[in-house]
Chains A and B, each alone.
Chain A
């Protein structure tokens, strides 16, 4: 898999895709959505879609695609290579979300949680497929009078999604976004539907390769890349995190700062940082009620001109 675009800049997100097979623009297709690398504290999360004409679904099944978690790394590679060979009827697209993007989203002033990020990424990939003319969906008819009738044309226009969070609300959300598509959101969809299995293989192959060839943004020397599985409960991963703490900067961007594991290591091993939106214990504006009755001199504040500019006279050096 060619991840050179990601390797050029892995601080944001990166969309990769196969050419769209021309048959997928003509015939109704089935499309699967899955992700890899949602849990790990290290590296990117990869979202993938995979699609093929309904008439060729049996050929995709014949490749014996299965849930990527049940396959060995070499089997996944072999299957992905087969899908590439079958590029005349199988298409895929990926969205690689860098750990930096995940951290900054989740730690934003307005929290953008991982579920919402996942849902939006999946939606974005589905929209991409539609924009490319993949015939997954969308009847030509506008829904009249606010209700949809399942028309004959929509038969076979199916999307299967492996769930993130409760499948019901996720399905509702996607269904609203794509009213012309019949969306099925299910737990373990990657084991139930071959097209989702295929998507899970694409995602997992990309995630493994991205982690293996990760180009650290930081200029760190003698960096050992023996970080285990990347999952927070892996002792090897924990040990790697502890060894790579910088007291000021924390971790390299390869680490998801928003993960509990990363945060608790920083609390112990790195210097404290306060932000303008950090929670502070004492509100300086609030004084003890007794202070209003005491005769003592009120603390003299500098003129507003200086307060507004954050200027204070230096009394100690």
Chain B
């Protein structure tokens, strides 16, 4: 949560609730090849999941009258996916059911921040995991996203990042 340019960036610190990472419920996620220009819960279980069919070349469904083809993408070994939600006010937002929400790229790649050390001042913000996943369904417009899908490439970043940031052994 750091930024190179100071303006327009929220000065408040973001803390992670480590306890929420311990045992969040597993969840089914779908990554669609489109953007719904709103962030809100959606009745995925009523409209979307029941319409999924196993076709000859992968999963099939439609969204807004457009044909989608999908496949499972597994989170790389050693990593786990979390659905992170910000706590709002005094109520823990974790209580809300976001299980039906459409997730976007960032959700999977959002890095975990270090456990908070500071006092919980009222202008600090807190996020916690509301669900976890080890795979998700990736959908392409009319065709299977396949091995060249952007998000598959994105998932290789953590291991590369670990390699380039690792301590070089002194000989």
Contacts and interface: CB of A to CB of B under 8 A. Distances in A.
Interface of A: 9, 11, 100, 103-104, 106-109, 217-220, 246-250, 252-253, 256-258, 262, 266, 271-277, 306, 308-317
A274 B35 contact: yes
Interface centre among A103, A219, A317 (most CB of B within 10 A): A317
Interface of B is mostly: mixed
Contacts of B14: 317
Interface of B: 1, 3, 8-10, 14, 33-38, 40, 42-43, 45-48, 50-51, 53, 60, 62-67, 86, 102, 105-106, 109-111, 125, 127, 141-142, 150-151, 153-154, 156-157
9 contacts: A11-B53, A248-B47, A249-B48, A250-B65, A256-B65, A275-B66, A308-B150, A310-B153, A317-B10
B38 A314 contact: no
Nearest to A306: B157
Contact of A309 (B42, B66, B150): B150
B8 to A, nearest CB: 8
B37 A272 contact: yes
A104 B65 contact: yes
Contact of B141 (A11, A109, A316, A317): A109
Contacts of B37: 271-274
B42 A315 contact: no
Contacts of A316: 8-10
A255 to B, nearest CB: 8
A248 to B, nearest CB: 4
A277 B64 contact: no
Given A249-B43, A275-B66, A317 B125 contact: yes
A305 to B, nearest CB: 8
Contact of B47 (A108, A246, A274, A317): A246
A247 B3 contact: no
Nearest to B125: A317
Contacts of A100: 62, 65
Contact of B38 (A249, A250, A271, A317): A271
Given A218-B47, A314-B111, A276 B154 contact: no
